[in-house]
Amino acid sequence: MTAVFMASTLTYGAYLGGHLDGFVQDVTARTGFAVDQIKVVGNRETSEIDILDKLDLNGWTSLVGFSAEGARERIALLPWIQSVAVRKVYPHLLEVRIEERQAFAIWQRGSELSVIEKDGRIIAPYTGGEQSKLPLLVGQGAPEHAPALMAKVANFPELASRVRGYMRIGDRRWDIKLDNGVVIKLPEANVEQAMADLVRLDREKGLLSRDIASVDMRLSDRLTVQLTQEAATAREAALKEQAKMAKRKTGQQI
């Protein structure tokens, strides 16, 4: 009876002093309900350290008095989090299940690089690593218009596998950059037909494997190829040599 009376007195005193939550935490932790296991599931881009920090635990945090909803709200503020559930599993375990936002591309604005979702919303700053495999979008209006263009490019697997960047020009049309540095200047209209022509020329003549800097397809009735600086220099030298040879032949005939 004395023990019950003392416990009741302590509880009442803690209540009056506004320390009941701390009192419950302390008592329940010391009687076998301290959190000593944490299970985090579903995180790829979100570090466990950031998640643990949001749990706000100490060495004597009790599972009984721990607010799972409060922890959920704090974790939900992390940039990659789409949804999160925090569950208490007695006597010692906290389980955190994460669903992260889906990265679609890297968007470059000036010198700033951000990872974005398919709808164009920014997730977080670009940090490298696995994110480097995402396609690069450059230019004003690129996030809004990129999904439609990328869906069209996907119809040409030989081309799609080589694209590394999409550059929005004047918020009107696109340039696409390939893995070998070649830039394809697409027209404003009939983009799919232009890509079909490009793929056909590459199959027939190996166009995209040549020493070229760009392929200009903006005009519907012609295609213009720009050589790399090295190729242009070599071609100029070859033309001069041909001119010399022609002069020599002409002199010999005379």
Same domain, 83 and 26: yes
Residue 254 pLDDT > 70, yes or no? no
- 70 and 163 belong to one structural domain: no
Compute CA distances 95 → 39, 44, 84, 174, whole Å: 5, 16, 10, 46
Q: Indicate whether 62 and 110 sit together in one domain.
A: no
**pLDDT per residue as tens digits for the range 99-124:** 999 999 999 998 899 999 999 999 99
Residue 17: pLDDT above 70? no
pLDDT at residue 13 greater than cutoff 60: no
Alpha-carbon distance of 176 to 104, in angstroms, equals 17
Here the CATH number for the domain that contains residue 215 is: 3.40.50.11690
Final residue before a domain boundary, out of 49, 82, 100: 100
Q: Which residue has the higher pLDDT, 35 or 13?
A: 35
pLDDT of residue 228: 76
Same domain, yes or no: 91 and 113 = no
The count of structural domains within the chain is 2
**Of the residues 80, 100, 120, which one is the last residue of a structural domain?**
100
pLDDT band at residue 219 under the 50/70/90 scheme: very high
Identify whether residues 96 and 109 lie together within a single domain. no
Are 32 and 53 in a shared domain? yes
Distance (Å) of CA 212 to CA 160, 168, 181? 19, 21, 9
Residue 12 has pLDDT above 50, yes or no: no
Domain membership flag for residue 150: yes
Q: Are residues 85 and 139 located together in one domain of the fold?
A: no
At 139, is the secondary structure helix, strand, or coil?
coil
pLDDT digits (tens, 9 = 90+) for 135-160: 999 998 999 999 999 999 999 999 99
Domain membership flag for residue 247: no
Instruction: Indicate whether 148 and 73 sit together in one domain.
Output: no
251 found inside a domain? no
pLDDT for 88: 94
pTM for the whole structure:
0.73
pLDDT of residue 100: 98
Q: Which domain holds residue 61?
A: 2-100
**Once rounded to an integer, what is the mean pLDDT over residues 122-131?**
94
Which residues 6+ apart lie within 8 Å of 2 measured at CB? none
- My answer on whether 63 and 123 are in the same domain is no
In a domain, 6, yes or no: yes
202 within a domain of the structure (yes/no): yes
The verdict on residue 62 lying in a domain is: yes
Q: Tell me: the pLDDT tens digits for 31-79?
A: 456 888 999 999 999 999 999 999 999 877 889 889 999 999 999 999 9
Q: Do 92 and 164 fall into the same domain?
A: no
Does residue 194 fall inside a structural domain? Answer: yes
Chain centroid offset of residue 77 CA: 19
The answer to the question of residue 74 being in a domain is yes
Q: For residue 210, which of 233, 240, 180, 187 has the smallest C-alpha distance? A: 180
Pair (95, 115) in one structural domain: no
Q: Reply yes or no on whether the pLDDT at 196 is more than 80.
A: yes
Q: Are residues 164 and 110 in the same domain?
A: yes
| Residue 20 or 180, more confident | 180
